[in-house]
């Protein structure tokens, strides 16, 4: 028989958490947040964007019972965030060696010489 494990321990981490979930966990971990700030920034009436509810159900965040109603990552939420950051680091190192330039767009404006515009200007 397996011993009973607390819900917050990183036992069965999902393989690929969604990008929005990673962004939400990083936002919570960035600095102290309270319930009002979190609801203001992350509440959604769209049933397809339920990151707040999903994070609570999956045990990734908790609402403290202090007067500020602080929002904190659980150990499981912190582990998922750390896992995603480890997976992101090799990609960052490989792209840092070869920076990408914005593509040039050549257009002809009313019979005049071609103008060169960068996509970043739009």
Q: Is 79 helix (H, G, I), strand (E, B) or coil?
A: helix
Domain encompassing residue 36: 19-121
Q: What is the DSSP secondary-structure string of 76-89?
A: HHHHHHHHHHHHHH
As a whole number of Å, the end-to-end CA separation of the chain is 62
Task: Give the tens place of pLDDT for each residue, 86-122.
Answer: 887 765 455 555 555 655 554 445 555 445 544 554 4
Asked if residue 102 belongs to a domain, the reply is yes
Of the candidates 120, 117, 98, 94, the residue with the CA atom closest to the CA atom of residue 107:
117
Look at residue 7 and tell me if it is in a domain: no
Global confidence as pTM: 0.60
In a domain, 3, yes or no: no
Task: Quick: pLDDT tens for 25-51.
Answer: 999 999 999 999 998 888 888 877 789
pLDDT given for residue 75 in this prediction: 96
Sign of CA dihedral 15, 20, 21, 27: positive
Does residue 29 contact residue 81 with C-beta atoms inside 8 Å? yes
pLDDT of residue 1: 38
């Amino acid at each position: 028989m397996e011993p009973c494990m607390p819900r917050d321990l990183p036992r069965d981490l999902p393989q690929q958490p969604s990008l929005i979930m990673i962004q939400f966990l990083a936002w919570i971990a960035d600095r102290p947040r309270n319930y009002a700030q979190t609801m203001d920034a992350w509440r959604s009436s769209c049933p397809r964007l339920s990151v707040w509810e999903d994070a609570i159900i999956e045990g990734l965040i908790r609402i403290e019972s202090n007067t500020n109603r602080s929002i904190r990552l659980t150990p499981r939420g912190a582990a998922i965030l750390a896992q995603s950051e480890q997976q992101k680091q090799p990609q960052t190192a490989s792209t840092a060696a070869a920076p990408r330039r914005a593509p040039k767009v050549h257009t002809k404006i009313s019979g005049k010489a071609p103008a060169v515009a960068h996509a970043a200007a739009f």
